[in-house]
Amino acid sequence: MGFFDSEIIQQEAKQLFEDYQALIKLGNNYGKFDRDGKKLFIEKMEAMMDRYRIFMKRFELSEDFMAQMTVEQLKTQLGQFGVTPQQMFDQMHLTLERMKAELEKQV
């Protein structure tokens, strides 16, 4: 069975995508959130990035040809912007840390 034939992988990918889209939509109103709302949003984004990192690691560790092609496509797409997958995760982490620091100033 191929990597993408797994019902678990398909469901997880679908859920990850839907959760990410919902968070991005919610994030459009970030400036209107109160302090607790901003803190909760940051926590949800951190959890989302952890889930995404784990999901991508599964692709990297899989011997399935299509999974490996997916990893290579991501690397190519990010490479067009001069970024590696690890740099993408690092940048997102840095952004979330800045958001947390900004929140601490609002005490």
Dump pLDDT digits (tens) for 12-42.
Answer: 999 999 999 999 999 999 999 999 999 999 9
HSE value, Cβ hemisphere, 13 Å, CA-based, for 90: 5
Q: Tell whether pTM > 0.75.
A: yes
User: By C-alpha distance, which of 93, 54, 60 is closest to 75?
Assistant: 60
Q: What percent of the chain is modeled with pLDDT above 90? A: 89
Q: How confident is the model at residue 4 (pLDDT cuts 50, 70, 90)?
A: confident
Q: What percent of the chain is modeled with pLDDT above 70? A: 98
Cβ-count burial of 23 within 10 angstroms (0-12 exposed, 13-18 middle, 19+ buried)?
middle
DSSP 71: H
Residue 5 in this model has a pLDDT that exceeds 90? no
